[in-house]
Structure 1
Amino acid sequence: MNAPVVGLIILAAGASTRMGTPKQLLLYQGRSFLRHTAEIAIASLCQPIVVVLGANAEQIKPEVSELPIQIVENPQWAEGMSSSIRVGIEALDNLNQSLDAVAIALCDQPFISSQLLNQIVEAYQVTRRPIIASEYAGSLGVPALFSRALFPELMSLKTTEGAKQIIKKHSPEVFRIPFPGGAIDIDTPKDYQEFQALADESLQSRTGI
């Protein structure tokens, strides 16, 4: 069986209003969240990769501009995640018309890994389920993969709806991949402080420092 062609959209268009500074540029392991997510995507089986920027695009773009990815700007970013998903799918389709599926990731899930993305692609290859979603905190979410058959539904999401709506709608058909680290939500400076403490702890336990 041929490996599926899976493009990846990294959503990075939000204004981070509650953080007070662009979340995309917060640091993790010496790199910005966006750079970290982009490098993980590049090291995965997903190809091509599109980063969707919106708020603060000019400030954020230099973080990833020399990487082998496509950067697109969503002028309607303020309308919510659905508009960025639309822009991302259009860009991916222009890059490769023979995509079998698309994976969607956020730039503010720092515990995402290439292994997780590969697990998602491999689960799709084996099961051919229309959706492969990450499972955390008792719910299903992104990173998630959607087969080409669902592109029209992704394209017609209403303003503030994200991909979760489609995952919910098709829940009996979803294949789940455990991703406990996906439960980390970083929206405020306090969230970021707590995350940094957690990241330091996890680094210490891995390195025995």
Structure 2
Amino acid sequence: MKILIRGAGDLATGIAARLYRCGHEILMTETEEPMTVRRTVAFSRAVYEGRAQVEDIEAVLAGNMAEARQILSEGNISVLVDARAAVREAFRPDVLIDAIIAKKNLGTAITDAPLVIGTGPGFTAGVDCHCVIETKRGHTLGRLIWEGTAIPNTGVPGNVGGYTIERLLRAAGDGRIRPTVSIGSRVEKGQITAYTGGVPVYAAMSGIVRGMLQEGAMVKKGMKIGDIDARCELSHCYTISDKALAVGGAALEAVELYGRMKGKYGLVILAAGRGLRFGGDKLSCLVHDKPVYQYMLDKAAAFSGVEKLIVTGNERIMEAARQMGVTPVENREPEQGISWSLKLGLRAMLEKRPGVEGVLFCVCDQPGLQAATIQKIWNRAAVRRGRIICAGHEGRPGNPVLWPRAFFPELMALEGDVGGRAVMARHPDRIDIVESRETELRDIDRKEDMEEVWERRWGI
């Protein structure tokens, strides 16, 4: 797959190395002046050296997209100076990984690629990315988070060789850095290791210099400029760290999981109900200044790599769907019941994607449903092939429901106002439930349900 990595520091390099060694195509973006302390194990070094080798992998600086493509075709990793990762429009990656490690999101959106991965604090899975990788050292390092956030930044570096704050070298003044020691050098506590803006920087501990910013980099007082390792293993200065490999392993897990889903599933939104119990067009009612139908369209937008359809007879919904890349399937006979909408959606999906392995059916009146829940259904389907996967709460199944291909004939045989629950009732042993919050599963049937929305009991 084509993978775009924002950032080319040491953690980003660990990610790139693991993915590259599994045969993926890697394009990395960086700033004009990278501030990578562990630069001997970072592809960001290519920005000012032209190329950078880390272990057995080489990254080469490209001046433009055409050069980047040539570098990729030669089997190397390509690095572009592009702080905003604007190249994603031309590169059109399968996966975008934000590995800037800025402790905040600097512009990555969940719609930037079919799979978007955030690393460390500053990202929320299901909101601005599909999953987050935990980067804090400890028991949870390298875990994939499919809903929620990583551990917040504490400001205290991780423990390496029994030291935390002491192992960092920080600028003593504003200005250019002039190191007095090299990466790999042994230093003693109290020794001058660099000058920043002409002010000396002293080592707070003895050990080996594992990282140091390049000479001439512009720094500000208090900024991290170097790293001392008490373990004094020279090889650690020139090989990818355990932390970077753990983070890279998590990225590889997410990418491989996506590879099992890519192009194999479709999404159908059902929005053709007559609203008899509601007494009117419930889907056009406003919830927090947004029509009900827009909530599901917004969630669908998070899955750019999935074929998406919406079954409806509402012209306004059709137009809104088209603008968001969702194909309308017209239903002018809603009186035929939910089975008719199911069959229209399934038939249209099979026409567009004949080999589809499964279809996720969502209803359009669940404004509290989260994109993270949809993602977890995709994930479960990727490893539990042939199962009916649905959202649910405390063992009770609900919507959405992902139907594997084996059940398509039974869905097509439904008649009247009978939905997929009739098929599920015949196959209770084939159902997997993805646990969700109760508020996510609530749908709008009556006007009283809208009152609950305004009372903010829906989690939106």
TM-score after normalising by structure 2: 0.41
The question of whether the paired residues in 1 share the 8 Å contact of 2:386 and 2:406 is answered with: no
Which ranges of structure 1 fall in alignment gaps of 5 or more residues? Answer: 204-209
> Match for 1:88: what amino acid?
G
Q: Which has the larger radius of gyration?
A: 2
2:456 counterpart (182, 198, 206): 198
> Match for 1:106: what amino acid?
V
- 1:135 matched to 2:396? The reply is no
- 1:33 matched to 2:292? The reply is yes
TM-score after normalising by structure 1: 0.87
Give distance in 2, aligned partners of 1:86 and 1:19. 24
Give distance in 2, aligned partners of 1:186 and 1:168. 23
Please give the per-residue CA displacement for 1:131-151, whole angstroms capped at 9, x wherever unaligned.
Answer: 001213753122010101111
The question of whether the paired residues in 2 share the 8 Å contact of 1:82 and 1:158 is answered with: yes
Equivalent residue number for residue 188 of structure 1: 446
The question of whether the paired residues in 2 share the 8 Å contact of 1:133 and 1:167 is answered with: no
Give distance in 2, aligned partners of 1:142 and 1:198. 20
- 1:16 matched to 2:275? The reply is yes
**The structure with more strand, counted as a fraction of residues:** 2
**The structure with more helix, counted as a fraction of residues:** 1
Please give the per-residue CA displacement for 1:1-46, whole angstroms capped at 9, x wherever unaligned.
Answer: 7423110110000111232331111223432221210120120376
Equivalent residue number for residue 207 of structure 1: none
> Match for 2:340: what amino acid?
S
Please give the per-residue CA displacement for 1:113-156, whole angstroms capped at 9, x wherever unaligned.
Answer: 21111100110111214200121375312201010111111111
Structure 1 residue ranges, 4+ long, deviating more than 4 angstroms after superposition: none
The question of whether the paired residues in 1 share the 8 Å contact of 2:386 and 2:405 is answered with: no
Give distance in 2, aligned partners of 1:53 and 1:16. 12
1:158 counterpart (406, 415, 439): 415
Give distance in 2, aligned partners of 1:193 and 1:131. 33
1:50 counterpart (309, 327, 334): 309
Give distance in 1, aligned partners of 2:430 and 2:377. 15
> Match for 1:51: what amino acid?
I
1:75 counterpart (320, 324, 332): 332
- How many matched pairs? 200
Cα displacement (A) at 1:110: 1.0
SS at structure 1 position matched to 2:455? helix
Equivalent residue number for residue 430 of structure 2: 173
Moved more, 43-52 or 69-78: 43-52
Q: Using a 3 Å threshold, how does the CA distance of structure 1 residues 3 and 27 change in structure 2: closer, same or farther?
A: farther
SS at structure 1 position matched to 2:322? coil
> Match for 1:197: what amino acid?
E
SS at structure 2 position matched to 1:19? coil
Equivalent residue number for residue 61 of structure 1: 318
Moved more, 158-167 or 20-29: 20-29
